[in-house]
Amino acid sequence: MERYRVVKEVGDGTCGCVYKALNLETNEIVAIKKMKRKFYFWEECINLREVKSLRKMNHPNIVKLKEIVRENHELFFIFEYMECNLYQIMRDRQNSFTEGEIRSFMSQILQGLAYMHKNGYFHRDLKPENLLVTNDIIKIADFGLAREVMSKPPYTDYVSTRWYRAPEVLLHSSSYTPAIDVWAVGAIMAELFTLSPLFPGESETDQIYKICTVLGTPDRSIWPEVMDLSRSVNFRFFQIPPANLSDVIPNASLEAVDLILQLCSWDPQRRPTAEQSLQHPFFHVGTWVPYPLRDPFYAKINETGPKPKLELNLWDFGTESDDCFLGLTLAVKPSITNIDVNDASQHSREEFLFCSGYQENPRHSVFWPLISSNGSMNDGPTMPSLSSSYLVNRNCSDFYGESKLAVGSFGTRP
């Protein structure tokens, strides 16, 4: 450890102390986690869950383990340095986060979590203290309780800080899933809006009560396993109706409220995965979505005027025995009753869709009149306008031959 000079202590946890330090060889600022227990064998070190999990993961939203050092039976983890944790930011915050800031934090947390779950681990202790932040970049840290997704139950029922502990863990389920991480993320998201915990229970029983005051009492229709779990620990639920989460978190949008409710579903099977959560509308609010491309004639049709007609024409080519061409055109044949058609009025010729490209049979080019110069239209059922863009630069392969049809132009808490 002679290569590092400790600058200051930045944290003290159950398993170890964290220091800010300087790498004397590279002048890089790093974080050093000194484990409190002694390690007499190297095999003990590399078999730690924190080591096994972090050695397998490399993601911009998961803190990077740079080096492991064992010296005089003491174990040190060298991490990339992060300025603070999310709890410190919320504690020192004077005003609420904007929804855009929350969206950015949540997107990063869920991306890191999705990567973690995909690579076979779930965290089991997600909370604001374990989310490290530097320059609006947030990273998941402290993998001391991490476990493999494919590991076999029973799992310990004391995981995660109480305020972020999923109900199935509170009811001592021994076969919980990575969905417990998703619950914690939902509780953290709500806290980002209010700057106070959503479920601040003072004991496990009080924790369940706090959850009920927000989500209401669950029954079999909401969570099929709830009665079996509650009976196994001799627990009786409080009969409380659900609160309006929009009243609990008044500064949250409807999309944010909906996402929190999904993440904090009583039934773990109803919670979306981290990857699915990223597809929620909350993360697409304000995303520019272009209007559908419109028929150039559409703007000139009044609300009561006739709608364009959809015509389908099938063309049979070939007069010789070895000819096997089949042409198909699908296009809008608009009504021109209330349309000012410049081309039709300024040119003596008709406007056509030019269907050709039959290289071997150039003589079989076909012209189909899109707008009749005399304004006459055949009767037929009206249909919504089809964008003219669908009639531009579209090439469709023929079923036969090579011919193509071109259709016209991160303190400690409970």
pLDDT tens digits, residue range 197-248?
A: 999 999 999 999 999 999 999 998 999 988 888 888 888 887 899 999 999 9
Residue 211 inside a domain? The answer is yes
162 near 201, Cβ under 8 Å? yes
Task: Say whether both 226 and 252 belong to one domain.
Answer: yes
pLDDT attached to residue 332: 53
Task: Say whether both 73 and 91 belong to one domain.
Answer: no
Q: How many domains does the structure of the chain reveal?
A: 3
Cβ burial 331-367 (10 Å sphere, 16+ → b, else e): bbbbbbeebebeebeeeeeeeebebbbbeeeeebebe
Task: Say whether both 384 and 313 belong to one domain.
Answer: yes
Task: Say whether both 160 and 234 belong to one domain.
Answer: yes
Task: Say whether both 44 and 147 belong to one domain.
Answer: no
Tell me the one-letter amino acid at 324.
C
Tell me, rounded to whole angstroms, the distance of Cα 385 from its chain centroid.
Answer: 34
Task: Say whether both 130 and 263 belong to one domain.
Answer: yes
Enter the DSSP assignment of 151: S
* Residues known to be catalytic: 125
CA distances for 339 relative to 98, 231, 335, 346, angstroms: 48, 73, 8, 14
Q: Which domain holds residue 402?
A: 298-407
Chain length of the chain: 414
pLDDT tens digits, residue range 364-377?
A: 444 444 444 444 44
Task: Say whether both 321 and 265 belong to one domain.
Answer: no
* Listed residues 80, 115, 137: the one ending a domain: 80
In the numeric block, which tokens belong to residue 384?
A: 């919504």
Look at residue 93 and give its three-state secondary structure. coil
pLDDT tens digits, residue range 41-98?
A: 888 888 888 898 898 899 999 999 999 999 999 999 999 999 999 999 999 998 999 9
Q: Could you give phi then psi for residue 84, rounded to 5 degrees?
A: -160, -175
pLDDT band at 172 (very low <50, low <70, confident <90, very high): confident
pLDDT over 90 at 315, yes or no: no
Tell me the one-letter amino acid at 181.
D
Task: Say whether both 52 and 29 belong to one domain.
Answer: yes
Task: Say whether both 222 and 207 belong to one domain.
Answer: yes
* Listed residues 41, 65, 80: the one ending a domain: 80
Query: Which pairs count as long-range contacts for 11-16, CB under 8 Å and 24+ apart, including other chains?
Result: 11/410, 13/142, 13/412, 15/144, 16/77
120-124, 289-293, 358-362: least confident range: 358-362
pLDDT over 80 at 28, yes or no: yes
Q: Could you give phi then psi for residue 304, rounded to 5 degrees?
A: -100, -5
Task: Say whether both 143 and 235 belong to one domain.
Answer: yes
In this prediction the pTM is 0.68
For residue 214, the tally of other CB atoms under 10 A from its CB is 19
Among candidates 54, 74, 82, which has minimal Cα distance to 66? 54
Find tokens 């929350």 and name the residue. 102
pLDDT attached to residue 273: 97
pLDDT attached to residue 152: 54
* Listed residues 250, 284, 318: the one ending a domain: 284
Burial class of residue 37, CB neighbours in 10 A (0-12, 13-18, 19+) = exposed
